[in-house]
């Protein structure tokens, strides 16, 4: 078992833990594989905890990549954590890291459309849709979240929040909280024209139609 207990961990300490989560070895532009900055991930995990949506809960990290939200949820006291990603190499990295550190996290290679695992809470940073092949990918992730969870925490480009709000309304859910972040993406692919590209993003807490107060 991991020897880290959430009650002894402050936000800065959690950020330091998450900074050790390995990044992608061969990131795919089509999958928009960018590691969520540890500071943002730690802040999100603390918000999820403050809402009572992680400790003692089953948490699903959709599009988990190398597992930064999965690790954060585990450290924050989730009863069960499942990380799912379509990329086999990323799941391999996540499994190796969690096993090495004694973290009991289930990692699965699975396409978003095939996910059936039920949970209390989904935490995710879905593709922003910057690549043509990934347009409306965030919509697929939101729709899946409604199928499997009571509450969703999801990051989106600020300019797309209006459309996400319409989608949530159409699915019978409601956005109950939001927080703005500046998301830096370091130069990763040849088509990047800046050393660091900054995006304005928004964390949304979404209660699905299955949510019970």
Q: Report how far residue 65's alpha carbon sits from residue 13's, in angstroms, rounded to the nearest whole number.
A: 22
Which pLDDT does position 189 carry in this prediction?
45
Report how far Cα 209 is from the mean position of its chain's Cα atoms.
21
Q: Report how far residue 67's alpha carbon sits from residue 62's, in angstroms, rounded to the nearest whole number.
A: 10
Q: How many CB atoms lie within 10 A of CB 209?
A: 11
Which pLDDT does position 1 carry in this prediction?
41
Q: Residue 107 — pLDDT band, cuts 50, 70, 90?
A: very high
Write the pLDDT tens digit of every residue in 190-204: 544 556 778 899 999
Which pLDDT does position 27 carry in this prediction?
58
What kind of architecture, by CATH, is found in domain 6-207?
3-Layer(aba) Sandwich (3.40)
CA neighbor of 78 nearest in space, from 162, 4, 23? 4
Lowest mean pLDDT among 17-26, 36-45, 146-155, 173-182: 17-26
pTM metric for this prediction: 0.87
Which pLDDT does position 152 carry in this prediction?
98
Instruction: Classify 57 as helix, strand or coil.
Output: coil
Structural domain spans, the chain: 6-207
Structure tokens that stand for 51 in this block: 């809402």
Write the pLDDT tens digit of every residue in 127-149: 866 544 555 778 999 999 999 99
pLDDT beyond 90 at 60: yes
Which pLDDT does position 155 carry in this prediction?
94
What is the pLDDT of the chain when averaged over all its residues?
86
């Amino acid at each position: 078992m991991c020897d880290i207990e959430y009650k002894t961990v402050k936000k800065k300490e959690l950020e330091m833990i998450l900074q050790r989560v390995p990044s992608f070895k061969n990131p795919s532009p089509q999958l928009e594989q960018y590691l969520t900055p540890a500071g943002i991930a730690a802040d999100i995990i603390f918000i999820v905890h403050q809402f009572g949506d992680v400790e003692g809960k089953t948490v699903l990290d959709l599009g988990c990549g190398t597992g930064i939200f999965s690790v954060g949820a585990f450290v924050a006291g989730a009863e069960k954590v499942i990380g799912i990603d379509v990329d086999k190499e990323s799941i391999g990295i996540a499994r190796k890291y969690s096993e090495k550190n004694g973290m009991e996290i289930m990692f699965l290679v699975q396409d978003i459309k095939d996910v059936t695992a039920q949970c209390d809470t989904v935490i995710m940073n879905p593709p922003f849709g910057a690549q043509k092949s990934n347009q409306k990918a965030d919509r697929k992730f939101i729709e899946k979240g409604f199928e499997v969870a009571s509450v969703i925490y999801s990051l989106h480009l600020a300019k797309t929040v209006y459309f996400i709000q319409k989608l949530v309304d159409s699915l019978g859910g409601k956005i109950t909280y939001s927080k703005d972040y500046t998301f830096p993406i370091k130069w990763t692919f040849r088509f990047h024209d800046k050393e660091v590209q900054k995006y304005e993003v928004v964390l949304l807490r979404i209660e699905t139609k299955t949510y019970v107060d």
